[in-house]
Amino acid sequence: MRSAFAVIGLCALLLGCASIQNAPVNQPGSSTDLVGQLHENFEERTATDDDLVALSFSGGGTRAAAFSFGVLEELAQTPVRGGGASMIDRIDFISGVSGGSVTAAYFGLRKRAALADFREKFLLRNAEEGLQTDLNLATLGRAFAGGINDSSGLPRWLDANLFHGATFADLRQTVRPRVWINASDIYNRTPFVFGATAFSAMCSDLASYPLANAVAASAAVPVAFAPVVIQTFPGRCKDPLPAWIVKARDNRNAPPMLSAFAKAISRYHDGEIPYIKLLDGGLVDNYGLSGFTIALLSARAPYEPLSPQQAVKIRRGLFVVVDAKTGLSGNWINTIEGPSGVDLVKAAADTAIDASVGAGYTAFERTMGDWQAALIRWRCGLTAAERARYGARPGWNCHDLKFFVGRIGFDQLDPARAARLETVPTRFRLPPQQVDEVIAAGRDALRASSAFRMFAGRM
């Protein structure tokens, strides 16, 4: 009994000493002026070719960042049909979660130039320097107070070493690619997609929001990090809710993901939630498919989120989920006891994440199939005048449209190599040998993907 009181007293003492600083950095304002640049749809895409390429980078620390970087390197070596460019220059959309969001944001900012220095500037660096990453007596108080690390350490490191003050305004200076950075709204239990929809609803300025902070929110693992806080400013602007948000919010038969997202956006707008608390995006969507899925489910016309001109022009679409999630781990299956403590928390989180990503990917495949069918019906229903107005070329075939959807992961490589890769920790520091091994795995996994090979005309 005395020992129990001693533990309680120690916890109380630690809690009393702990202080978590999580002041929000977003500014009041309106994103109305940026809606044309930042709206969550595909209308920003330049219609310079008839292909649509989209990538989704999963969570998993530096190993996820390295795996997705290998995919980008392989795309840089893959010529497009007709020559003159490589496929990396045709990427239209990238969605990132946690470790994958680092690669997504940096590539979105630097484009092809990111290939030259991302390995040295991030993958080979220790992004955990200056952070406390272990749960022990010294960090227990901060863990109980909300998180071992507050929301300043990782953003500060990312900004000093990678983003150098870049904001979402810098990210959108060029049209292609469109980047989604995904976190988890832990109160509404929904994805939080950094974009114009959410920031307009809360009357906040997206353009000035630092990329480093958005990426850190996407990677804020519970307990290790305190939630990143976003403040809402209801009444500071006149922006009404988008019509599709109101419709999805009030429609009892709306798809669950869209309904939950719309209700969260409404709460931001109405002032019901003064402070939004964000943690790792993998908690609700470790594949980062929410941005794509919400854009499709919120479409008001069959061709959306494309423009009519793009919907007529497109012939092929490639959608690749780059999956660096963890494999099975832990030795507590060999005893009656366990798991306990940190292992129990990790096991529970991994179970929830793995259960959701499988269902999420299956739903995404179905959604993409439905969208392809809807596009074909719309195209085939166009009048001659509409076809001419939207730029249909002579000999145009309304049925000439094919989407290729695939997932690449360690498990698709040979078993011995996959087993070795799955032992790579999901930390933000890895030895160079492991970094290079994971990069090579990304190149090889994409090269072996049947969806990619069919899209690239290699099968």
Q: Rounded to whole angstroms, how far apart are CA atoms 344 and 439?
A: 31
Do the beta carbons of residue 277 and residue 218 sit within 8 Å? no
For the chain, helix (H) and strand (E) counts, in that order, are 20, 8
Give φ, ψ of 96 to 5 degrees.
Answer: -130, 145
Q: Is the Cβ–Cβ distance between 298 and 249 less than 8 Å?
A: no
Q: Which of 343, 344, 346, 181 is nearest to 278 (CA)?
A: 181
Q: Which of 58, 95, 98, 218 is catalytic?
A: 98
Rg of the chain's alpha carbons, rounded to an integer? 23
Query: For the chain, what's the residue count?
Result: 459
Residues 134/427, Cβ–Cβ less than 8 Å: no
H-run or E-run covering 38: helix 35-38
Which one-letter amino acid corresponds to residue 35?
V
DSSP-derived secondary structure for 71-82: HHHHHHTSBPTT
Contacts of 307 (CB under 8 A, 6+ apart): 42, 43, 47
Extract the tokens encoding 155.
């953003």
Alpha helices (H) along 202-279: 211-218, 243-250, 256-270
| From 280, 285, 323, 350, the catalytic residue | 280
Structure tokens that stand for 249 in this block: 């919010």
**What value, to the nearest 5°, has the Cα angle with vertex 29 and ends 169 and 20?**
85
Coil, helix or strand at residue 203: coil
Read off the amino acid at residue 343.
D
| Pair of tokens at residue 75 | 């795309």
Token readout for 397 is 């075939």
Q: How far apart are the first and last CA of the chain?
A: 70
Contact criterion met (CB below 8 Å) for 322 and 58: yes
Judge whether 307 counts as a catalytic residue. Answer: no
Residue whose tokens read 């952070």: 131
What is the distance between the alpha carbons of residues 225 and 279, in angstroms, rounded to a whole number?
A: 8
- The conformation of residue 164, written as its DSSP 8-state character, comes to T
Angle at the Cα of 322 from the Cα atoms of 318 and 323, rounded to 5 degrees:
145
98 included as an active-site residue:
yes
Q: How far is CA 439 from the centre of its chain?
A: 19
Catalytic positions are: 98, 280
